[in-house]
A and B are shown apart, each in its own frame.
Chain A
Amino acid sequence: MRFFAVEKQPQLSLEELCHVRWLLGGLLALLSVWTLFHLEVSIWPFAAVATVTIVGVMLHPALPGKVPRLVWRLLVPLIVVVFVVDVLSNEIVLSLVRLNTMLVLYRAVSYRERRDDLQLIALSLFLAVLTGVLTVSIVFVVQILLFTAVGMVLLFVINVVDDALAGAPVSTVRWVRIPRRRLLLRLRQAADVRVVVLAGGLFAAVVLVTALIFLAVPRFEVSNPINFLALNRKSSLTGFSENVALGEVTDIQTDDGVAMRVDVRAGAVVPEEPYWRMVALDEYSAGAFRMSPSARSASGDRALPYLDLAPMQQPVGDRDGRPRENGRIVIFLEPGVSRYLPQPGGFSEIQFRETQEIIPNDVLRVYAMREASAGLLSYQIEGADFGGVIPDPFFAQERTRAATPSGRRAAPRGGSLSLGGAGLEPAARGGVAYPHTTLALPEAPEAREYLAGIVAEITGGREVGAQEFARLACVYLDRRHSYSRQVRLPPVEGTRIEDPVIRWLQAGAGGHCEFFAAAFTLLGRAAGHPVRVIAGFKGGTWNGYENYFMVRHAHAHAWCEIYDGAGAWLRVDPTPGAGGIGTQSEPLNQAQVALASDRSTSAYLDSLRMIWYRRIVNFDQRSQQGVISSLRTVGRTARVWSEAVVQVVREQYAAWQKAPLSFASKGDILVLSIVLFLVAVLLKRLGLGKSDVLEWFQRGQMSTRRRAGLLLQRLEARVARPPRRRSWDEERALELAGQLMIIRFGRVETWPEPLKTFRAVRRIL
């Protein structure tokens, strides 16, 4: 048994440990409260007040003592009352968050015993996890890791204090003030490097074990997972709602933040500039488009829980009739963007991770949630089709029905326009219903006349099909108008027409996508073609780090869809420089993707989020099987590799054996043998055995007995020939010699402290 004496490290006193415990408890509460800042803005003041209060009490622990006991007793019933009132008037999830915050605050600012500290840890954990589930933010990882680190240290300190107090309450340690500077100094003194390194290692171990458990926990395909921890956001971006006024989509473009990320899985082909449909607006009135109530209710206006959602009409396929290759994309929609789900228009199925309440509208091919999600929403789209053709048998049926007397409904206001030959008659004011809304024009006769004039100019008086008309109209708009975000309309007085789109057409002014889309819509309708406006995103950039598609708010766009008269809607983007009619930009090849990729710092940071979403948030049974498969592959590769190495070594050894005996072929072995021999001789001469060498490698120092022996020899020589200096103390020398003898020859149990003895002997020598 050996004793390795080390320098005595100062340790924190019980009072100092109590200080640390108090501060750590406050810090833990702060960490959990700060997660609220990722939630609704409405909860921020609540979080700010909690933060200030906790920090104040942390730094001035005497404050809780000044609050009367009665107040402390009344606080918990008060919290319960507030919670009940909150539940009755607000969303239950937010009420739960507020209740949790109040409890954390209560525990953080009151004096705590061991049980209270454990309650604080549990409540803080609940709050951090709850907000993490609601926001699904990558910041959750940082926060939960910090929380874990602080929580572990706090638990450790609680345990140490508890043992030191031997069951007595913490309140027996009297302290009212934390000498912060002194405490910091003491912490620095008491911090043992080894313990700090150990703590760091432990933290790494916790993270590693967490990752392993996370990967290894069996995942089941739960048929109907309940999304009971979901928080809905009341507001979303105005440009992506049922009512879009001119300029609202362009307003969104001023924000450069990422609106959604698209993970492109195997088999999916994303074109250079994909269109992401969100809302389809069929009704127009005085510079504003909206989704008409009849269109909204055409396929039911009720939200139903969906896990898989398939449209009534499947993608139409290629022009030559072959079905398009099914591709899978996963969309990660940022919180609060819209309650309408971005999708390519054509797809075979949308799969959600958890059941979502969706209002599907197969008439307009838009899918809305009840309210915009306050957290990140991810969903997978199977069979994504980015072609600009959307089949709509419903519209064809409606058109046919409208053509028959019994099926006639209200016709577009003031229009005696034909509908692909079927012709809808003008009807009385009001009550225009879908699909007639897609033909509605401004009521002013001047406006209709003006539009009819332009249509005549575009078509040259001929009757042209929808596709041809769209092409001609796009050319017309492109020739007359330039793209500009700033739109200057002529005054109303000069034109006698109030409609801003007509005035814009008349002025030949520059405009943004919404004006082009609105103008094309009116022109198309004036020409008798049903047209609707679509708002969503167009384009995006490839992330150069993680190879996914980033769609920013700046990619917000508006375009049109024109009914081709043959059961499908064609995408028409009349904005100058855009794709035009139903065309689909070709997918980029790898080189082009590499060139077009965003490799900026912000893209890098965004790629971290994507890793988080891809690897963590979307980790499921399929991913788990992928991990297992990868591990098997790695194992197989390692086995093959090791077998190959063994084989090579064997072959080389066999070749070496067969080689003739010469220095060139076997000289290396000879040299190695000589070196080993010389080393052995040297060790022998030095009197070092195998154990010494091993010990040297293990401990990097000589054995304690050997050191004692060497020092004893020197001390005996000095005792035999004492020095002449006055400070020489023979008695002390003899005493030390005795101690050295004990260390050299005695049983370990009888040793004095070796390092101290050695130091004393060196001093006397």
Chain B
Amino acid sequence: MLTTTISDTAQWSGPGARTWRWREFRLGRFLLSLVIPPRGQKVLPTAAGVAMIVIALAIGLAAYNTSSNILFIAFSLLLSTLVVSGILSWMNFGRTAWRMTLQPPLRAGQQAVLNLEVHNHKRFLPTYCLNFDLRASSGDTGRLVLRQRLDPGETRKMEWAFRPRRRGREMVEMTGVNSKFPFGFLHKHFGGRVAREVYVWPARIVYQIMMDASGTAETVGETVPRPGHGTEFMSVRRYQSGDSHRHIHWKASARQRKLMVKQLLAENQRGYFLFIETPLVVWENPAQFEQMCSLAASMAEDLFRQGQLVGAVINDGAPILTRRVSDLELLLDQLAVVEPVEHFGGGRLLPLRNVITFEPGRPDGVHAILRGRKAASA
């Protein structure tokens, strides 16, 4: 699974994010919070709530004018409904947690899906009618509604689709959680802005491959000293989420009292190296520059999928050896934020034969160059 998160905010947020302990309970603070909500939280009456308050006041006035205790009862009843409404609203939010996760990859111009998980940590009471306001820095806004009851211990996943406009950093944030539960008289806003900054990779583009594969391949089929999906045993390591259960090493697990999996050696294949230079003098046209980023990202992914990507380097940066998926992600993350640079020291001498570089086409388009010849064009 690809990871594109810049800020690690996939933590649970909300009142139920932390384990609640009795010893941390302070009655005074609790009572004060009911009267003066904590920072970011606010309770506002809705239109129906305002109407109800006006009706209650009118009945109260009539009660004083007539000294009628029946009217005083009605007045008390309306006020108590408001009070109970506030308490219920507070209880509804209580011990409810939520977190945002994004379904990578995020690419410019393509629809992205934000997953919102809501979990009810309450032991007895369900949670109802929560509204989550969401906003992306590219301009999209949306609201996710908990339409059905969230039972105790239950987790509900909701999805919000948005479309990042361009590559770069995208800030997706939950601007607030609010609810009109239970009677629609009070609108409780639970602040606690949750934001996730993610990389939006360059858009995938269609390009024409002109590479001649003959005679350029590295040695194929030999094992290389790095983890992979070969057949030879390399070592054991701790189980990680996503590992196949078939690779669990039971003896090692029993000895370590931890779940351990077998690590196998990778086998070598033919490989290319991407060299991405972005001097401003070369990439004067922003459209061509964006096209180059997209071409580089698309080629990197395709070559990696074919096992033919050895690594890449961007300008003066450190070379990235693409041994595993996370290396490719790192490369794409860098491509997401790469910009034309004013001062660039010039091409470095790479000790590899299959180095692919990029140059703008004339008058438009972008070309990938391998050993002086066009390897791909977009």
Contacts and interface: CB of A to CB of B under 8 A. Distances in A.
Interface stretch (B26-34, B81-89, B207-215, B268-276): B81-89
Given A155-B184, A202-B84, A213-B76, A194 B48 contact: no
A159 B245 contact: no
Nearest to B68: A133
B71 A129 contact: yes
Interface in A94-153: 118, 122, 125, 129, 132-133, 136, 140-141, 144, 148, 152
B35 to A, nearest CB: 15
A229 B123 CA distance: 49
B68 A159 contact: no
Contacts of B81: 148, 152, 206
Contacts, number: 170
Contacts of B233: none
Contact of B153 (A4, A163, A214, A229): A4
Contacts of A152: 81, 182-183
B283 to A, nearest CB: 43
A217 interface: yes
Interface in A451-495: none
B67 interface: yes
Contacts of B125: 194-195, 198
B77 A210 contact: yes
Contacts of B259: 738, 741-742, 745
A192 B73 contact: no
A228 interface: yes
Nearest to A148: B77
B182 A159 contact: yes
A155 B183 contact: yes
Interface in B243-280: 245, 248, 250, 253-254, 257-259
Nearest to A194: B124
B182 A156 contact: yes
B41 interface: no
A354 interface: yes
A737 to B, nearest CB: 8
A407 interface: no
B356 interface: no
Given A4-B123, A209-B84, A741-B253, A132 B74 contact: yes
B51 interface: yes
A152 B82 CA distance: 11
A118 B129 contact: no
Nearest to A13: B148
B77 A159 contact: no
B297 interface: no
Given A159-B183, A220-B64, A213 B153 contact: no
Interface in A708-733: 716, 719
B371 to A, nearest CB: 47
A619 B253 CA distance: 76
B154 A6 contact: yes
Contacts of A716: 254
Given A160-B129, A194-B125, A118 B51 contact: yes
B151 A6 contact: yes
Interface in A644-671: none
Contacts of A229: 62, 66, 68
Given A129-B59, A163-B131, A745-B259, A213 B69 contact: no
A236 interface: no
A225 interface: yes
Interface in B287-342: none
Contact of B80 (A213, A353, A616): A213
A155 B70 contact: no
A716 B248 CA distance: 14
Contacts of B69: 214, 616-619
A205 interface: yes
Contact of B248 (A11, A136, A734): A734
B217 interface: no
B179 to A, nearest CB: 8
Interface in B107-142: 119, 121, 123-126, 128-129, 131
Instruction: Decide if the interface of chain A is mainly helix, strand, loop or mixed.
Output: helix
B253 A217 contact: no
B75 interface: yes
B148 A354 contact: no
B152 interface: yes
Interface residues of B, number: 67
A742 B60 CA distance: 60
Given A1-B97, A4-B152, A745-B259, A118 B48 contact: yes
Nearest to A147: B77
Nearest to B182: A156
A550 B104 CA distance: 81
Given A198-B125, A222-B65, A354-B66, A206 B184 contact: no
Contacts of A362: none
Contacts of A210: 73, 76-77, 79-80
A155 B88 CA distance: 13
A686 interface: no
A3 B183 CA distance: 29
A680 interface: no
Contacts of B149: 9, 11
A133 B62 CA distance: 11
Contacts of A318: none
Interface in A1-51: 1-6, 8-9, 11
B239 interface: yes
Nearest to B241: A750
B158 interface: no
A719 B254 CA distance: 12
Contact of B250 (A212, A225, A734): A734
Contacts of A616: 69, 73
A719 B250 CA distance: 10
A11 B148 contact: yes
A129 B70 contact: yes
B67 A353 contact: yes
A738 B64 CA distance: 71
A226 interface: yes
A716 B153 CA distance: 29
Contact of A155 (B72, B87, B182, B254): B182
B84 A205 contact: yes
B318 to A, nearest CB: 31
B36 interface: no
Contacts of B51: 118, 122
Nearest to A126: B55
Contact of A6 (B67, B153, B180, B182): B153
A217 B184 contact: no
A735 interface: yes
Among B12, B70, B152, max chain A CB count under 10 A is at B70
A413 B70 CA distance: 53
A86 interface: no
Contact of B66 (A11, A217, A227): A227
A716 B155 CA distance: 31
A118 B81 CA distance: 15
Nearest to B148: A11
A593 to B, nearest CB: 29
Contacts of A212: 80
A735 B259 CA distance: 12
Among B64, B67, B250, max chain A CB count under 10 A is at B67
Contacts of A144: 73-74, 77
20 contacts: A1-B121, A3-B153, A9-B151, A125-B74, A133-B70, A140-B70, A152-B182, A158-B184, A159-B182, A159-B183, A195-B126, A205-B87, A209-B76, A209-B79, A209-B83, A214-B73, A222-B67, A226-B65, A735-B245, A741-B259
Q: Nearest 8 A-B pairs (CB), nearest first?
A: A209-B80, A4-B153, A155-B183, A213-B76, A225-B67, A214-B76, A210-B80, A741-B259
Given A122-B51, A144-B73, A194-B124, 15 more contacts: A3-B119, A6-B151, A9-B151, A11-B148, A132-B73, A162-B180, A192-B151, A194-B125, A198-B125, A206-B77, A210-B76, A211-B76, A222-B64, A226-B66, A741-B253
